[in-house]
Amino acid sequence: MSLQGKTIVITGTSSGIGAEVAKLARFQGAKVIGVDRNDPSLTLDGFVKADLSSPAAIDAAVAQLPAQFDALCNVAGVPGTASGELVANVNYLGLRHLTEQALGRISRGGSIVNVSSILGYEWPKRLDLHKELATTKGFETGAQWLKEHPVAHETCYQYFKEALIVWSTVQSQKWFLEKGVRMNCVAPGPVFTPILGDFVQMLGQERVQADAKRMLRPGFADEIAPVIAWLCSDAARWVSGANIPVDGGIASTYL
């Protein structure tokens, strides 16, 4: 795998999986532009500070990105311990808005990679709702739809990861055919990142202990990053519309 000569925009580069993707991409020869609300803690080729919960802030951030780049990695996210509105805005509506606004800058043959989650595995149970939300046009219209179809706070993180998987899947082929840009998801299981404790709090000890029996251990951010980087490379040029579990086999235990 090589990313030599590519320019990649990565959100969430200040910590966790986003930081590891940035390190690996630069090691593989890419120029990396980071986007985050927090200042970077590693060397990047460019950085845009932005609040990814606000469409106006996202538009301002996109205006600062290169006129053309090769991949967009949507890694930034907030845990379910945040307010339901913030989870919706960052993990789904803002991600979608950023991707749609940046699409015209992504080179033909380029790639979009969205970080979903193993917690989105139950998307088929709510497929009709997720497809209806996916058809809404724009951030504000999506936000209005959510007001009319409220999501319980205790399950909002899972819900919007499900919605992200569905939107990414149903939108991917249209963009691949029309723009030559691939879009895929990577679905991590539990990962040792700064927000792992938030997930323990969100899910509760009973669920966490049950899940612990289904896996060898939580993953490390540098075990997720290579799959994201690979999807940005030309080696994955015929992969589009996939949701790839990188979870130590947890997904297989749901069958």
Burial string for 45-80 (b: 16+ CB within 10 Å, else e) reads: eebbebebbbbebbeebbeebeeebbbbbbbbbbbb
Residue of 56, 36, 52 whose CA lies nearest to 44: 36
Residue of 243, 226, 142, 105 whose CA lies nearest to 183: 243
Q: Rounded to an integer, what distance in angstroms lies between the CA atom of residue 169 and that of residue 26?
A: 28
Q: Rounded to an integer, what distance in angstroms lies between the CA atom of residue 114 and that of residue 94?
A: 12
Write down the catalytic residue from 92, 121, 157, 159.
157
Could you confirm whether 254 is annotated as catalytic? no
Residues that are catalytic: 157
